[in-house]
Amino acid sequence: MTTTQRAVLIRAYGGASAAEIAEVSRPSAGDGQVLVRVRAAGINGIDWKVREGLVQKAFSLQLPAVLGIELAGVIEAVGPGASRFRVGDRVMGPLGRLGAYAEVVAVDEANLVRTPQDLDDAHAAAIPVAAVAAWQSLHLAGPIAAGQRILIHGAAGGLGGYAVQYAKRAGAEVFATASAAHLTYVDSLGADHVIDYRSQRFESVAQHIDLVLDYAGGEVLDRSWEVLNKNGAIVSAAAPDILARTPPGRRGLWFQNKADAGLLERLAAEIAQGSLISKLSEVVGFGDIPAAIERNRIGPRIGKVVADFSR
């Protein structure tokens, strides 16, 4: 058996050229872990932020480091103390760390769930981080009640698309920002008010907001305090410095995703059944991962980008 494998890694922080395909050592399964032969992996905004060294406080790395945070694949080996899966099981899940862009990955079995039969690997790989993170960020500030007014920035993206659906199901009045090309898609998810952020200031449409979900960051976060109710909250998955940018007397929360296999299993089943929309904007091959990470940085996309390792 070969002792090395292909992976997408960074040796130093930098721009588009910092991510490269290289040979790395093949891992073995530790206690409570399984080895997963990766068939597909989701590409996320965190990839280019890690690549450029923008989130070093949240992701302390020893370089070189393999990128990627979520995957779908097949169990290839079971480590000591692991008992939930057998060799040959199709699984999906977040790593809880970096390292998914490799042909074989050691994963804590607690993070994984069986892939629903009706989901192919590419669609499965798009789900573990975004679907769970959108749910968790929506509820981070407290329970969602019918009639609440919720503003979602970046509503067409991987997180935003799920959050619109979750908020609408909970009975909220949903305000959503997106680019002009993505307005129809966001409207199809159930948003009550869809705002083209390039041609219209969201402050002119969204007022008396109880909760802002910030998946965009930048000046959008700073402008959002104006539309927030006195007792409202802003939850940001895009601005690690939100606490420093929160005005006195206001409530700002930094969201970080946590693995939740039970929640992932439920949401994946809903997607497989068609009751929850999960959108892929692009499927690329393994060799195109570095370029896809850069494309993800440059412009907004509908849903998720996924790498299919068979391509």
The pLDDT value recorded for residue 55 is 81
CA-wise closest residue to 82 among 140, 35, 130, 18: 35
CA-wise closest residue to 266 among 168, 127, 110, 123: 127
CA-wise closest residue to 18 among 41, 39, 47, 44: 47
| Residue 242 and residue 142 share a domain | yes
The pLDDT value recorded for residue 1 is 64
Is 193 in contact with 206 (CB distance < 8 Å)?
yes
| Residue 122 and residue 9 share a domain | yes
Is 98 in contact with 50 (CB distance < 8 Å)?
yes
The pLDDT value recorded for residue 141 is 95
| Residue 275 and residue 200 share a domain | no
| Residue 138 and residue 111 share a domain | no
| Residue 111 and residue 146 share a domain | no
CA-wise closest residue to 82 among 61, 110, 47: 110
Quote the tokens at residue 308.
């299919």
| Residue 249 and residue 139 share a domain | yes
Residue with tokens 């040959």: 88
Number of domains in the chain: 2
**How many Cα neighbours within 13 Å face the side chain of 50?**
27
CA-wise closest residue to 281 among 266, 265, 295, 269: 295
| Residue 104 and residue 119 share a domain | yes
| Residue 263 and residue 122 share a domain | yes
- Read off the CATH number of the domain in which 71 is found: 3.90.180.10
| Residue 288 and residue 174 share a domain | no
Query: In three state form, how does the secondary structure of the chain look?
Result: CCCEEEEEEECCCCCHHHEEEEEEECCCCCCCEEEEEEEEEEECHHHHHHHCCCCCCCCCCCCCEECCCEEEEEEEEECCCCCCCCCCCEEEEECCCCCCCECEEEEEHHHCEECCCCCCHHHHHCCCCHHHHHHHHHHCCCCCCCCCEEEEECCCEHHHHHHHHHHHHCCCEEEEEECHHHHHHHHHCCCCEEEECCCCCHHHCCCCEEEEEECCCCHHHHHHHHHEEEEEEEEECCCCCCCCCCCCCCEEEECCCCCCHHHHHHHHHHHHHCCCCCCEEEEEEHHHHHHHHHHHHHCCCCEEEEEECCC
| Residue 177 and residue 35 share a domain | no
* Cα distances (Å, whole numbers) of residue 32 to 76, 78, 163, 254: 14, 8, 32, 30
Q: Which residue range(s) make up the domain with 141?
A: 131-254
Residue numbers of the chain with a pLDDT score lower than 50: none
| Residue 182 and residue 37 share a domain | no
The pLDDT value recorded for residue 82 is 96
- Read off the CATH number of the domain in which 189 is found: 3.40.50.720
| Residue 203 and residue 229 share a domain | yes
CA dihedral 188, 189, 190, 193 (to 10 degrees): -80
